[in-house]
Amino acid sequence: MQNVTVLGLGKVGALAGELLGEAGFTVTGYDAHPIEGLPFSTHTLDAADGAALTATMQGADAVLSCLPFHANQAVATEAHRLGLHYFDLTEDVPTTTAIRALAETSKGLLAPQCGLAPGFVGIVGADLISQFDTCRSCRMRVGALPQNPTGLMGYSFNWSPEGVVNEYLNDCEVLEDGQVKWVSPMEWVEKIVINGLELEAFTTSGGLGTMCETYADRVPNMDYKTIRYPGHVALMNFFFHELLMRERRQQAGEILVNAKPPVSADVVYVHVSAEGVIGDRLERREFVRALKPKQIAGKHRTAIAWTTATSVAAVMEMVRDGTLPQQGFLKQEDIPLAAFLATQNGARYAG
């Protein structure tokens, strides 16, 4: 795996291309708009044009889709037809289900959900679970927030508004008392404290990836929640449900990103915990981080951009180097945390 096509050159896609180039891949990038100033070849592309999409993948060994989630199934289908490795950052459950079906006959590796959540958080969760003789619960919480929030919402849309709206409105898969259940988003609100800062967490869709299926008979309780500043979830429930903006998803995203545009000073909170028995003792183990922007390749990179781009780039390094399978469907929980952190890109999470 040497030649990589990157589709979508926003902040995450462009950075992922740079990180892959630094790790020794030959990268070619495509975006709907002309992009200049990147250290790899870039071209324009209408991703809805099937013939043009096929042409971008000719000669590639792998494709990384950083497009909106609704475009990924078409990309994965074409990658499957061409026998390429496929990677994406989606949190969308139906998209991942469709890609998993393709993987049953794939010549390459199909690896969706390689971002932060789902993605890195599942790698951490699986590592914590493996430390117990028997594990009774695993709780995964992630939030990308402004360091200096303003207003009642206390938020900035540093991530795709389409993705955020999708997470806030789609049902959430959990394990409860050994049963796989689907629960409503923006519920099960809890207080969470990181480095003395009080935050709130609530259910959102897609963050667990395939983990409920993987651990259904081993970990009776598992859930994923998004972290926000206190009061955020009440406002979002008012906006989407009382004002009926759930019926106008695209407009809802436009309103929210216009009201709360991206900031450069963000922070990504990761709080993963597991409880269980080791020997004859009940213990709780945690992985907690507050990750802030970094200077990478001489440029300021937001926390959400570098954590997401680093995660997928590290996984792609592992596939290239033979640490991970070369065919079929990749579950994030099957990626060893130690090997992930040992890659050129994954090392950023360790330091």
Reported as a single tens digit per residue, the pLDDT across 109-152 is: 999 999 999 999 999 999 999 999 999 999 999 999 999 999 99
Q: Which pTM does this prediction carry?
A: 0.95
How far does CA 35 lie from the centroid of its chain?
A: 24
Residue 222 bridge partners (DSSP):
138, 175
Q: Residue 233 burial (CB < 10 Å; 0-12/13-18/19+)?
A: buried
**Among residues 318, 341, 351, which one has the least CA distance to residue 25?**
318
Reported as a single tens digit per residue, the pLDDT across 219-270 is: 999 999 999 999 999 999 999 999 999 999 999 999 999 999 999 999 999 9
pLDDT, averaged across the chain: 96
Q: What is the mean pLDDT of residues 213-223?
A: 97
- The token pair that represents 58 in the structure block: 């000719």
Which H or E element spans position 319?
A: helix 303-320
**Among residues 214, 226, 203, which one has the least CA distance to residue 329?**
214
pLDDT of amino acid 351? 63
